[in-house]
Chains A and B, each alone.
Chain A
Amino acid sequence: MSAARRSAVRGAAPFVIGVGVLWLALVVLLPLGMVFAEAFRRGLEGFLQAFDEPDAWAAVRLTLLVAAISVPLNALFGLAAAWCISRYEFRGKALLTTLIDLPFSISPVISGLVWVLLFGTAGWFAPLLDALGVRVIFTVTGLVLATILVTLPFVARELIPLMQQQGADEELAALTLGAGPWAIFSKVTLPNVRWALLYGVLLCNARAMGEFGAVSVVSGHIRGLTNTLPLHVEILYNEYDFVGAFATATVLAGLALVTLLIKSLLEWRFADELAATRRH
């Protein structure tokens, strides 16, 4: 790099950094601060009051339950999809890759609505479900389906480029050394992608807990039964219980911050190993 160009970049640095910080403060820190400010507007007592009612706790439990079901399923799917795409050549591979991205590009409302169109009272599979006596819409099943659809790309998107870049040589080496399929997966494939998998799972989890649009369509907003945390926040807000709404929102914000914290801690703790496995 020439001296002139380097100094030009250095001169621009404070400006660029300043704009970045200002922008972050405006669109991230300010709203986040608002959530906490509003939550504590009537002091600690007002804040705690929001958690006095069983419906709030039901919403917390439901949110955790939905995430606990959808995240592992999407982690499994992500691993399987990344394995397929990075290890095999087949017809329709490009289509599969595009399909995996699709949930990112369609509105979450649509991701919820498709389940209503399929399994709702007037849906395609309504007769079948009626005959079986199974209900999907306005139940936990519906919430899980909508969440899975919305959060489907996260793990796969983290794993596909990494597994493509790493290639299959290590797995083939393990095969010739006598390892069986399970040993190859557990001793070679999985350890090689564990950090990407963890990132994917954390991102997937954050979205699963925070999802509003898709879940809103299939939930039916039955308090204590099908109301997740984000939906609970909306209900309280619509009932003009602003402190309650924001207090509940702090739980969501708290879950997101914990997720970020775990990610940063892991990055810091295993920085050496990360660098070693990435470089190779």
Chain B
Amino acid sequence: MPLSIQNLTKTFQGFSALDAINLEVGDGEFLALLGPSGSGKTTLLRIMAGLDRPDSGTVDFDGEDFLAQTPRQRRVGLVFQHYALFRHMTVADNIAFGLKVRPRAQRPSKAAVAERVSELLRLVHLEGLEKRYPAQLSGGQRQRVALARALAIQPRLLLLDEPFGALDAKVRRELRRWLRHIHDETGVTTVFVTHDQEEALDLADRVAILNAGRIEQIASPLDLYQRPASAFVHDFLGGAVQLPGQVSDGELIVEGWRTRAPDGAPTGQVILGARGEDLSLADEGLETRIVSVSPRGFRTRVAVEIKGHMLDLDRPAHDPISDLAPGRTVRLRPDPIQLFKA
């Protein structure tokens, strides 16, 4: 594994930002660090980039001790949430910066720098804008310049800190697709920080879910979805309700509903996690009130309330749930039944 992090710990004035983090990132892998704000994901990224130092633990890259190296020696590309473009430089000068500040012996010739800049401008689809200043660009364009600037130094590792956090939803989705495309083209090992679960699941080969300075689970998006390791992971991926229940003698009791507990379920106090798409109409199940039904062409959004928890169900128009009248109370049964230890 090129990037290997062992037992990384960092505290800020008694607050534990990172708590014994272990993480491996494969060559050319696209890893997302996903978690709520304050979960330590940005701190972890800054330590990889060399902008912060951990209290203890190791960070190795290709067998080198990263922590013993300066940011310059690490050759890591970092993209910031608020772009951090050099405001007094043109787009071309921004992209060329990392090449121009190299020690004289390693500095490419002027022609080589210009060649590399236009190559990167093509890659990020900003040909013709090289003479503009950052203030004259849209947010999406700025972030593309920032990415080109980070790629110019041919980083061994590309780090992105909520790169689309400051952009609107449409541009976000566009840039997301485009970032994945660039990653596939360059093959650079990439770590991406986000608090947007959709973004992480869409983009990454694997996702590490952070909570209060600890990694809850590292898995592929599909595995996270199908086999969440904890109630936190299940909840953080969104679109779900969680209800307290009880398992004894192979029987599950949740809010008055009794059913057979799945094999291998924990016993005693449990939490039942039910995603909107796992629910279907049944004779027995969770008591559910239909709050509103909004048809949107092919799809219908049905807002329901399950024991005080609100949930939006996104269903095809022909789904039986889409036909229910608001105000009705029905029974919905989750399949699979996902249980976590309380």
Contacts and interface: CB of A to CB of B under 8 A. Distances in A.
Interface of A: 169-170, 172-180, 183, 187-188, 191-192, 273, 275-277, 279-280
Given A180-B72, A279-B135, A191 B88 contact: yes
A91 to B, nearest CB: 12
B97 A179 contact: yes
A177 B85 contact: no
Interface in B142-193: 146, 149-150, 152-153
Interface centre among B80, B149, B152, B153 (most CB of A within 10 A): B80
A178 B153 contact: yes
A273 to B, nearest CB: 8
Contacts of B133: 276
Contacts of A277: 87-88, 135
A276 B86 contact: no
B121 interface: no
A280 B134 CA distance: 7
B227 interface: no
12 contacts: A169-B82, A170-B84, A170-B86, A173-B78, A175-B50, A177-B101, A178-B72, A180-B72, A187-B86, A188-B86, A276-B87, A277-B88
A101 B150 CA distance: 40
3 shortest interchain CB distances as A-B pairs: A177-B98, A169-B84, A280-B87
A170 B153 contact: no
B87 A176 contact: no
A188 B87 CA distance: 9
Contacts of A179: 72, 97-98, 101
Interface in B88-123: 88, 97-98, 101-102
B62 to A, nearest CB: 18
Given A170-B86, A174-B86, A192-B87, 9 more contacts: A172-B84, A173-B85, A176-B50, A178-B98, A178-B101, A179-B98, A188-B86, A277-B135, A280-B135
A175 B149 CA distance: 13
Interface centre among A176, A183, A280 (most CB of B within 10 A): A176
Nearest to B75: A178
Interface in B62-92: 71-72, 75-78, 80, 82, 84-88
Contacts, number: 78
Contacts of B88: 191-192, 273, 276-277
A275 B88 CA distance: 11
Nearest to A188: B86
Contacts of B97: 174, 177, 179, 187
A187 B99 CA distance: 13
B206 to A, nearest CB: 24
A175 B80 contact: no
B136 interface: yes
B136 A175 contact: no
Given A179-B97, A276-B87, A172 B51 contact: yes
Contacts of B150: 176-177
Given A179-B101, A191-B88, A169 B80 contact: yes
B51 A170 contact: no
A180 B97 CA distance: 12
B136 A276 contact: yes
A12 B115 CA distance: 60
Contacts of A192: 86-88
B49 interface: yes
B136 A176 contact: no
A180 B101 contact: yes
A157 B101 CA distance: 31
Contacts of A176: 49-51, 71, 76-78, 150
A273 B135 CA distance: 10
